[in-house]
Amino acid sequence: MSQQTDSIRSRIKQLKAPRSDTATGTAVEATVKEILAAVRDEGDAAVRRYSLAFDKIEPDAFEITAAERAEAVAALDPQTRADTEFAIANVRAFAKAQLATILPLEIELRPGLHLGHRVIPIRRVGAYVPGGRYPLLSAPVMTIVPAKVAGCAEVVACLPPNAHPAMIAGCHLSGADRIFRVGGAQAIAAMAFGTATIPAVDKIVGPGNAYVNEAKRQVFGPVGIDQLAGPSEIYVVADETGHPEIIATDLLAQAEHDIHTRVGLITTHRPLAEAVIAEVARQLETLSTAAVAGIAWERQGEVTVVGSEADMIAYSDLIAAEHLQVHTRAPRAFAERLSNYGSLFIGPMASVVYSDKCCGTNHTLPTMGAGRYTGGLWVGSYVKIATHQWLDAAGVAAVGPAAERQSRSEGLEGHRRAAALRMEQPGLFGS
């Protein structure tokens, strides 16, 4: 059997193969290309036109004023504000702790050969804050707060003009320097190219719909991006100690995000697998978001029984789920054996919802298997590790001959001369 199926004893709930969206993807790509070109050429006029076309709103001004920001904050329910500030405090504290691990470096590798790197904040960052069906107040916290901790000089936030006013408050409390009423691909274009109103940024972060994702893909290069985000994912790995109600509840909590959310259970215990399927069906009967979560479970739900713990690890690492919960007898020891995931939730007390909202780790995570090669958004996403070097005569003597020989063997005469000059005429370079 193949690597993908060796470990699988049986799939008792199959992941339905998604319908081919080639035509839809091509249409999105073409539309986004047109939007980007228009915004690059026409600036604010194009942004205004697309806002009217897609959001059915033509704002009087794109930028949200200080008075409007204050009004949005004042309108927040006091408990909502307190909870938002609690989340901000946790995300900020964790980001500061992470930043403390990213240290500058200076080393004399050989006598006279000095190498190092600096940790340099990205100057201007653009945070795309999605509108969504609900006011997701955690979204600006996750993208803006780490940028401010990293030391970015300016953080620009864009959110759809029809976004809930509480989202403006969330951007403000998180520390956004400027906030604009612009959504969709036109927001990505404006931040990438700059307009008369909206400044060009150096890197764009934050999730969005298919048009936002495609726009980020197309502008990448001259401007940086965090990642290309697909639909959300949650998997649980569990042995016979797993609790069906807890697992089903957590799967459905993530499934209510979107009908395309991928949810799954990998277990060594068939009775648990069958109990979770039954429990999901029971909970869907009373879940207010069942219209979304039920479709996600039906189309993208997977329950797989494997033969051993090693098989469970192998299959989980193959999937590389965005969110991975560990419900095993010794979860912390088991977690040490896992390699591929966006973020790990160790033990039944650690729910994805805590990270989604307020515990301090970032909820902007790799999807579609990208956890095999990258982690999620973090304070390190907002800094550059830039190397430097300086040499004295001893350093030139150490590396110059090898550099000259290599240049000669590669046929690069200009390189050879540059290497040789410093050895042959050191007086040209001062003391």
DSSP letters spanning 267-312:
ES-HHHHHHHHHHHHHHHTT-TTHHHHHHHHHHHEEEEEESSHHHH
Task: Put residue 44 in one of left, alpha, beta given phi > 0 → left and psi -120 to 50 → alpha.
Answer: alpha
Instruction: Give the relative orientation of helices 244-255 and 270-284 as an angle to the nearest 10 degrees.
Output: 50
On the question of a common fold for 25-226 and 230-375, the answer reads: yes
Q: pLDDT for 311-355, tens place per residue?
A: 999 999 999 999 999 999 999 999 999 999 999 999 999 999 999
* Block residue for tokens 């969110």: 323
Asked about 322 being catalytic, the answer comes back as yes
Give how far the C-alpha of residue 256 lies from the chain's centroid of Cα atoms, to the nearest Å.
20
Helix (H, G, I), strand (E, B), or coil: what is residue 185?
helix
Please, which pLDDT band fits residue 3 given cuts at 50, 70 and 90? very low
291 vs 7, residue with greater confidence: 291
Q: pLDDT for 15-55, tens place per residue?
A: 775 545 555 688 999 999 999 999 999 999 999 999 999 99
Query: 110 is written with which tokens?
Result: 């050989």
18 CB-contact burial (10 Å; exposed 0-12 / middle 13-18 / buried 19+): exposed
Please, which pLDDT band fits residue 420 given cuts at 50, 70 and 90? very high
Please, which pLDDT band fits residue 271 given cuts at 50, 70 and 90? very high
Which residues are CB-neighbours of 373 under 8 A, at least 6 positions away?
none
Q: pLDDT for 348-398, tens place per residue?
A: 999 999 999 999 999 999 999 999 999 999 999 999 999 999 999 999 999
- Averaged confidence pLDDT in the chain: 94
Please, which pLDDT band fits residue 134 given cuts at 50, 70 and 90? low
Q: Spelled out in words, what is the top-level CATH class assigned to the domain 25-226?
A: alpha beta
Asked about 323 being catalytic, the answer comes back as yes
**Residue 156: pLDDT above 80?**
yes
Domains of the chain, residue spans:
25-226, 230-375, 392-429
Q: Which of 233, 257, 302, 323 is catalytic?
A: 323
Report yes or no: 210 and 32 within 8 Å, Cβ to Cβ. Answer: no
Largest CA distance in the chain: 84
Taking domain 230-375, whether its CATH number is 3.30.70.2740 is answered by: no
Please, which pLDDT band fits residue 1 given cuts at 50, 70 and 90? very low
Residue 214, CA distances (Å) to 19, 65, 208, 228, 421 in order: 19, 30, 10, 8, 49
Report yes or no: 147 and 125 within 8 Å, Cβ to Cβ. Answer: yes
pLDDT the model gives residue 2: 43
163 sits in which H/E element: none
**Residue 5: pLDDT above 60?**
no
* CA angle in degrees (0–180, nearest 5) for 386-387-388: 130
Rounded-to-integer distance, Cα 418 and Cα 113, Å: 17
Query: 40 is written with which tokens?
Result: 């690059």
Q: Where does 156-264 have alpha helices with state H? A: 165-174, 184-193, 210-219, 244-255
Report yes or no: 16 and 300 within 8 Å, Cβ to Cβ. Answer: yes
- If we measure between CA atoms, which residue out of 425, 422, 412 comes closest to residue 112? 422
Q: Which of 322, 327, 363, 404 is catalytic?
A: 322
pLDDT the model gives residue 321: 97
